[in-house]
Structure 1
């Protein structure tokens, strides 16, 4: 009997250990990656993206800075209350010559502070947590009633994506991108008005997977991040 209890305890411990590793494998990978980049600069980009479906297609928007179709969404903002921690973690704002706007959670950090930053981000303190701002900014050019959009739409959190750290050829440094994905259920009547604008495009899932839209004999790029909304 004692032997059975002992065996059961060992099995329970091993199960718990493997379950913990499985659920935290990405975090452990990021922790390892941060150690080998202890004094190395890492670019951070923390954004939210919207899954907006119209029948069996997905609504994407033309990029303002890059010639591509991409999900509706944008980067989070941090608040003044973050400045103390920002100084402690030796965070620097990204150069304005790139995509940075005041208060953007597009920052540069060294590996030694990375895990603390991720822990802070997950608390949702000192930063924007509502996602209405970018939804309004990105759909307003279609000419729809923003009041009706906000009153009649439902926004539901789906998942968080923390990409592994990789080298960015564009920014010439290592980069960690975090995306929070939300589904927005917008009444069909409102979407009917949105898609009248050439600024938006309905895209099928297989086109998103191929990262390419063939249109009028031309191929248009679809952003890699669009895969996260499928």
Structure 2
């Protein structure tokens, strides 16, 4: 990241100096010598072309995160950012068009099945990016942590690569639905999860935590493709009871309103991402 930052600054400086010289050469300088005409002008144009190509490569490598990277590198490099990298699972019943949510374990609300990804392998974000884990996180391998903003572009680039982290959704599905006896192990020995899209909220100003300046949240959204037995079990569950202390079947409108049960029961704000 640091080398890319200095390359970008170098290219920008080269363009600035070269353009300044060309303005001086063609609009101010009189009695122009051959040295200016044949050497310096050619050199300045060469610098500009090289810098443009270099900046294009940086933009291409960072993709849609280019301007975010510029902000992180140049304007808020040492601001503290809370990062949460997670997935949400859409479980929608055809016919009734209701979504299955579960009761949150930490917050009194209903929310989509899912959670933060975990590290796998030997990746050490605490050493590589000087990350600090969230105070209530018992598992240091959870991908929710604090970093300085200058590291955010590298974190996002690494996360998109899928390396050294979970890529499946089975763990949270099992823990929240099967281990909690909402769904049966018999019908849900395995699931087929289809990746749909990602939702991001990057460098959003927040002050929820001490010394925090920004939030950066990434949600990967998956859809569960139900076989006949799984679908029938979910239909039976909905017909048995719309909501309990463990789960709830809610409509898209209720998700938008962030509440159900005559506005008495809260739905997590992030549930809107599965609609």
Which bracket does the TM-score occupy, shorter chain normalised?
A: 0.7 to 0.9
1:172-183 residue pairs with structure 2 within 5 A? 172=210, 173=212, 174-183=214-223
1:155-194 residue pairs with structure 2 within 5 A? 155-172=193-210, 173=212, 174-186=214-226, 187-192=230-235, 194=237
CA shift at 1:137, angstroms? Answer: 0.5
Structure 1 pair 87–193 and aligned structure 2 pair: CA distance change class (3 A)? farther
Q: Over the residues paired in the alignment, what is the CA RMSD in angstroms?
A: 2.4
Aligned partners of 2:105, 2:112: CA distance in 1, in Å?
A: 12
Q: 8 Å contact 1:47–1:74 — kept in the other structure?
A: yes
CA shift at 1:189, angstroms? Answer: 2.1
SS at match of 1:150: coil
> Residue in 2 aligned with 1:13?
none
Q: Compare 142-151 and 180-189 and name the one that shifted more.
A: 142-151
Larger Rg: 1 or 2?
A: 2
Query: Is it true that 1:229 corresponds to 2:274 in the alignment?
Result: yes
Gaps of 5+ in 1: 1-16
> Residue in 2 aligned with 1:116?
154
Scaled by the length of structure 2, what TM-score is found? 0.67
Which deviations, in whole Å up to 9, do the C-alpha atoms of 1:133-181 show, x marking residues without a partner? 0000010113533252134x32100011121222334324221011000
Scaled by the length of structure 1, what TM-score is found? 0.79
Which deviations, in whole Å up to 9, do the C-alpha atoms of 1:72-131 show, x marking residues without a partner? 111100124111x541221222223xx553310011110111101111111111111111
SS at match of 1:102: coil
Q: Which has the higher strand share?
A: 1
Gaps of 5+ in 2: 1-55
Q: Which of 203, 217, 230 does residue 250 from structure 2 map onto?
A: 203
Q: Which of 102, 111, 115 does residue 70 from structure 1 map onto?
A: 111
- How many residues are matched? 204
